[in-house]
């Protein structure tokens, strides 16, 4: 049986939730998928935790420039609290300010056509990968 040592990165969105996963050593983040933000979202996250041997979850929180939580940040923190009630692994938060902007920029720089960049969840998954990679690089693992 594989050890549960991967870290799951989550980029919360009102319609979709971007999901990224670390390698077993906690060095590299990779986009995994997006899930619909609906009544089945927590069950989907639980399935990923089990299937991917996840030991910890990191959820990106968009802090306001003054360091406080805006409306979106408060919505994400409500999701974090519900997530903590529904899963059996630790859930941490990480400042995800500008990860979606960075994801769109990286897709443009990679030459991805505008129509393809707009495909459901592509930016959400990439934003989750970016926030998880930042977390890993700053000693979160």
Q: Domain residues for 47? A: 6-137
**82 belongs to a structural domain:** yes
**79 belongs to a structural domain:** yes
* Cβ-based burial of 97 (10 A; exposed 0-12, middle 13-18, buried ≥19): middle
Comparing C-alpha atoms, which of 80, 77, 32 is closest to residue 53? 32
pTM score of the predicted model: 0.83
Q: How confident is the model at residue 24 (pLDDT cuts 50, 70, 90)?
A: very high
Each residue of 50-86: pLDDT tens digit? 999 999 999 999 887 788 888 999 999 999 999 999 9
Q: Residue 4 and residue 128: Cα distance in Å, rounded?
A: 20
CATH number at 68 reads 3.30.420.140
SS3 at position 25: coil
Each residue of 49-59: pLDDT tens digit? 999 999 999 99
Comparing C-alpha atoms, which of 98, 37, 36, 91 is closest to residue 62? 98
- What is the residue-wise DSSP string for 61-103? E-B-TTSSB-HHHHHHHHHHHHHHHH-SS-EEEEE-TTHHHHH
Q: Residue 45 and residue 43: Cα distance in Å, rounded?
A: 5
Q: Residues 14, 121: contact at Cβ < 8 Å?
A: no
DSSP letter at 135 equals H
> How many distinct structural domains can be found in the chain?
1
**1 belongs to a structural domain:** no
């Amino acid at each position: 049986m594989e050890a549960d040592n991967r870290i799951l990165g989550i980029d919360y969105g009102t319609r979709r939730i971007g999901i990224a996963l670390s390698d077993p050593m906690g060095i590299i983040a990779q986009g995994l998928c997006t899930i619909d933000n609906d009544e089945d979202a927590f069950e989907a996250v639980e399935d990923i935790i089990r299937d991917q041997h996840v030991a910890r979850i990191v959820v990106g929180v968009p802090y306001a420039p003054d360091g406080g939580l805006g409306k979106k940040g408060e919505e994400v923190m409500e999701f974090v609290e519900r997530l903590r009630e529904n899963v059996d692994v630790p859930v941490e938060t990480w400042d995800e300010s500008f990860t979606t902007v960075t994801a769109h920029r990286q897709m443009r720089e990679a030459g991805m056509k505008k129509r393809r960049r707009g495909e459901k969840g592509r930016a959400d998954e990439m934003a989750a990968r970016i926030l998880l990679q930042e977390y890993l690089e700053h000693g979160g693992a």
